[in-house]
A and B are shown apart, each in its own frame.
Chain A
Amino acid sequence: ETGVTQSPTHLIKTRGQQVTLRCSSQSGHNTVSWYQQALGQGPQFIFQYYREEENGRGNFPPRFSGLQFPNYSSELNVNALELDDSALYLCASSSRGPGYTFGSGTRLTVV
C-alpha cells in the first residue's frame, strides 16, 4: 500500500503571498486532515475533509482553506501569508481504523 505523500517538501514564500500545499492520501482512506506544527510544538489541527466536504475545523482564520478531490487527495491553501505561518504542515489520512497515517510534511518558510 502507498502511504501519504505531500508536495513540495520545502517551500519559501514572501509575506503576503499565497501558497498551495498538496497531499495524496493513503489508498482506501477517505478522510484527510491537515495540521500545522510550529518549531518545538505538537501538531495543531487545521481542518478535516470527508467526501469532499469540510467537516471539522480548528482555531485557524479563513485565509486557511482546503479542498478534497474525488480521489481523496487534498490541497491546503493559505492566503496573505504571515511570518507566523512558517511551520511544518502535515497531512493525515484515515478511514475506519485505529489510526491516522501522516505524511512527512511540507516545511514552509515565510520571509
Chain B
Amino acid sequence: DAKTTQPTSMDCAEGRAANLPCNHSTISGNEYVYWYRQIHSQGPQYIIHGLKNNETNEMASLIITEDRKSSTLILPHATLRDTAVYYCIVRVLNSGGSNYKLTFGKGTLLTVNP
C-alpha cells in the first residue's frame, strides 16, 4: 500500500469547516483513498473513500487532486463530537475475502473547539 503523510494535529472552531489534508504521492492507479476516524476509546469508523472523482456522503466530502497525489477530507460543519484522530489510507478496493489490509499511520488529531 502506498504511504500517506498527514499533519500530526489540527484545530477547528465548532460550526466551521474542517479541512484535513493528506499526501499520497506514490499512489498507484488502482488504489483508492480511504478515510477513517477514531474517537477516543473506540474502534476506527469508516468515513468515505474515492478513486479520482470528488465524493460526498452524509458525513463528509472527499476532494482528490487531478494527479491523485493528495486529497482533502472536508467536514462541512464540525461539531465537538468530530474531535478524533483521522486516518488517510490508500489501498486497493476491498473485493471481499481478499487480503486487503488497512495500513494505518499515526493520523491527524483534529480538535474541535467550542
Residue numbers of A with Cβ under 8 A of B are: 4, 30-31, 33, 35, 40-45, 48, 50-51, 55-56, 58, 90, 92, 94-105
What is the predominant secondary structure among interface residues of chain B facing chain A? Answer: loop
Query: Could you tell me the distance between the alpha carbons of A103 and B45 in the complex, rounded to whole angstroms?
Result: 9
Q: How many A-B residue pairs have CB under 8 A?
A: 71
Query: Could you tell me the distance between the alpha carbons of A51 and B96 in the complex, rounded to whole angstroms?
Result: 11
Question: Which of B14-22, B68-76, B100-108 lines the interface with chain A?
Answer: B100-108
| Residues on the B chain within 8 Å of A102, using CB | 43-45
Q: A43: which of B41, B99, B104 is its contact (CB, 8 Å)? A: B104
Q: B95: which of A96, A99, A100 is its contact (CB, 8 Å)? A: A96
Chain A residue with the shortest CB-CB distance to B34: A99
Residue numbers of B with Cβ under 8 A of A are: 34, 36, 41-46, 49, 85, 87, 94-99, 101-107
Q: A31: which of B34, B96, B102, B103 is its contact (CB, 8 Å)? A: B96
Query: Could you tell me the distance between the alpha carbons of A41 and B8 in the complex, rounded to whole angstroms?
Result: 12
User: Are B105 and A42 in contact, with the CB atoms below 8 A?
Assistant: yes
| Residues on the A chain within 8 Å of B44, using CB | 43, 90, 92, 100, 102
Q: Do A101 and B97 form a contact, CB below 8 Å, given A42-B104, A42-B106, A45-B102? A: no
User: Are B42 and A96 in contact, with the CB atoms below 8 A?
Assistant: no
Least CB distance from B111 to A in Å reads: 16
Instruction: List 22 A-B residue pairs with CB atoms under 8 Å apart, sorted by A's residue number.
Output: A4-B43, A30-B96, A31-B96, A35-B104, A42-B104, A42-B107, A43-B44, A43-B102, A44-B104, A55-B97, A90-B44, A92-B43, A94-B94, A95-B96, A97-B94, A97-B96, A99-B36, A100-B94, A102-B45, A104-B41, A104-B42, A105-B42
